[in-house]
A and B are shown apart, each in its own frame.
Chain A
Amino acid sequence: MTQTDGRALRLFVLIVVIGGLVFPIVAGLWETLRAAFGKLPAIGAETWTLAHWDRLFALPGVATSVKLTLWTGSAATLLSLLLASAAAAAWHGRFANAGIVRVLGPFLAVPHAALAIGLAFLIAPSGWIVRLVSPWATGWTLPPDVATVHDPMGLALILGLTIKEAPFLLLVMLSALSQLPVRAQLAAGRALGYGPTMVWLKVILPQAYPLIRLPVLVVLSFSFSVVDMAIILGPSNPPVLSVAVTRWFFAPDTTLIPAAAAAALLQTGAVLAGCGGWFAGERLVAALGRLWVLRGGRGGSGDGRAVASATMVLVLGLGALSLTALLLWSFAWRWPFPLALPESWSLRGWAWTNGGWGGAFLNTSLIGLVTTAIALLLAICWLEGEDRGGWQRARWALGLIYLPLLVPQIAFLYGLSVVFLRLGLSGGMVAVVWAQSLFVFPYVMIALSDPWRALDQRHFRSAAALGAGPFRRLWAVKLPILLGPVLVAAAIGFAVSVAQYLPTLFLGAGRVATLTTEAVTLSSGSDRRVTGVYAVLQAALPLLAYAAALFLPAILHRNRRGLKGGAA
Chain B
Amino acid sequence: MSALELRDVVIRPRTGGDALFAPLTVTVPAGTITTVMGPSGIGKSTLIDFIGGHLAPDFVASGSVALNGLDVTGMPAEARRIGILFQDALLFPHLSVGENLGFGLSAEIRGRSARRAAVDAALDQAGLGGLHDRDPATLSGGQRARAALMRTLLAGPRALLLDEPFSRLDPALRQDVRGFVFDHIRTRSIPVLMVSHDAADAEDARGPIVSL
A contact set with B: CB distance below 8 Å: 1-3, 5, 389-391, 456, 458-459, 461-470, 473, 476-477, 480-481, 483, 557, 559-563
**A464-B53, A466-B103, A560-B137 given; A1·B90 CB < 8 A:** no
Contact in complex: B92, A477 (CB < 8 Å): yes
For A3, what are the chain B residues with a Cβ–Cβ distance below 8 Å?
57
B36 within 8 A of A: no
B contact set with A: CB distance below 8 Å: 49, 52-58, 74, 76-79, 81-84, 86, 88, 90-96, 103-104, 106-107, 133, 135-138, 151-152, 155, 157, 161
Who on chain B is nearest to A483 by CB? B94
Contact in complex: B106, A459 (CB < 8 Å): no
Q: Which of these, A5, A467, A557, A563, contacts B106 with CB under 8 Å? A: A467
CA distance A464 to B104 in the complex (A): 10
Task: Give the total number of A-B pairs whose CB atoms are below 8 A apart.
Answer: 101
Contact in complex: A461, B49 (CB < 8 Å): yes
For B79, what are the chain A residues with a Cβ–Cβ distance below 8 Å?
467, 469
**A1-B55, A466-B104, A467-B106 given; A461·B84 CB < 8 A:** yes
Q: Which of these, A459, A466, A476, contacts B83 with CB under 8 Å? A: A466
Q: Which of these, A2, A389, A468, A469, contacts B103 with CB under 8 Å? A: A468
Contact in complex: B54, A1 (CB < 8 Å): yes
Q: Which of these, B54, B90, B94, B138, contacts A480 with CB under 8 Å? A: B94
**A467-B81, A467-B155, A562-B93 given; A458·B88 CB < 8 A:** yes
- Chain A interface main SS type: helix
For A480, what are the chain B residues with a Cβ–Cβ distance below 8 Å?
92, 94-95
Q: Please name the 8 residue pairs, one residue from A and one from B, whose CB atoms are nearest each other, closest first.
A: A562-B93, A390-B57, A464-B77, A561-B137, A562-B137, A480-B94, A465-B84, A461-B54
Contact in complex: B57, A462 (CB < 8 Å): no
Contact in complex: A561, B138 (CB < 8 Å): yes
Contact in complex: B78, A464 (CB < 8 Å): yes
Contact in complex: B52, A465 (CB < 8 Å): yes
For A469, what are the chain B residues with a Cβ–Cβ distance below 8 Å?
76, 78-79
**A461-B49, A562-B135, A562-B136 given; A456·B90 CB < 8 A:** yes
Contact in complex: A459, B54 (CB < 8 Å): no
For B57, what are the chain A residues with a Cβ–Cβ distance below 8 Å?
1, 3, 389-391
| Known contacts A469-B79, A559-B96, then 12 further A-B pairs from the complex at CB < 8 Å, ordered by chain A residue | A1-B54, A390-B56, A463-B78, A464-B54, A465-B82, A466-B151, A466-B152, A477-B92, A560-B93, A560-B137, A561-B135, A562-B94
